[in-house]
Amino acid sequence: MHIWIKLQWEANQLQAARTKRPFDVIATLYGAINFAITAQSLEDWTIKALIQRDRRNGLNAGAYKKAIAEAVPMQPAFRDIANTAKHGEHREDNWLGGTVELVHMPGFTGTEREYVLLYHGDGPTLRTSLELFGDATLQWRQYLTRMRVSGFEALPQP
């Protein structure tokens, strides 16, 4: 389950970029894209493992994608961000109306140089990069543990 370890590592790198002085905008932007690509890879890997393990349960990739989106609410956004980055054209199949913007928010974050990535979806929910990556990593860990995905139980705790 090395792909989950990579996701956790990327979340840690994004946290370090956020607190670095001077603020590292490039590490934040590319780190967020890399996180999305890794989250999509983790989803692909997990679905393949679950289908292979549970061949007789009748669930298909679509059912697992839906279950993952319920467990990791930002996963549809990560999927579209990853596909947009990989294919060089805007993709919006899973996160309708989704946008990401870099905003300077010193009052919000308590520092004079802090920037935040804001994730807007088609609903009223707004997520910020301050908690998003850590939350998604924890949600993935909980899902993988609950589903008893092979190889995951041996991972070190964060």
Count of domains forming the chain: 1
Q: How many residues does the chain have?
A: 158
User: Is the bond preceding 22 in cis, omega lying within 30 degrees of 0?
Assistant: yes
The answer to whether residue 46 sits within a structural domain is: yes
Please report the pLDDT score of residue 72 as a whole number: 95
Give pTM, 2 decimals: 0.86
**pLDDT for the residue numbered 104:** 78
Q: Is 142 among the domain residues? A: yes
Q: pLDDT (tens digit, 9 = 90+) per residue, 89-118?
A: 666 677 767 788 888 776 655 555 577 888
At 13, list the tokens. 């790198």
Q: Which sign does the torsion angle of CA 76, 125, 23, 104 carry?
A: positive
Residue 31 lies in a domain: yes
- Give the pLDDT of residue 34: 95
Residue ranges of the chain whose pLDDT lies below 50? none
> For residue 122, is it within any domain?
no
32: domain range? 2-90+131-146
Q: Does a structural domain hold residue 57? A: yes
- What pLDDT score does 17 carry? 85
pLDDT (0 to 100) of residue 40: 95
Within a domain: residue 44? Answer: yes
pLDDT value of residue 130: 80
Spatial distance between the Cα atoms of 86 and 30, rounded to a whole number of angstroms: 13
156 within some domain: no
Residue 21 placed within a domain: yes
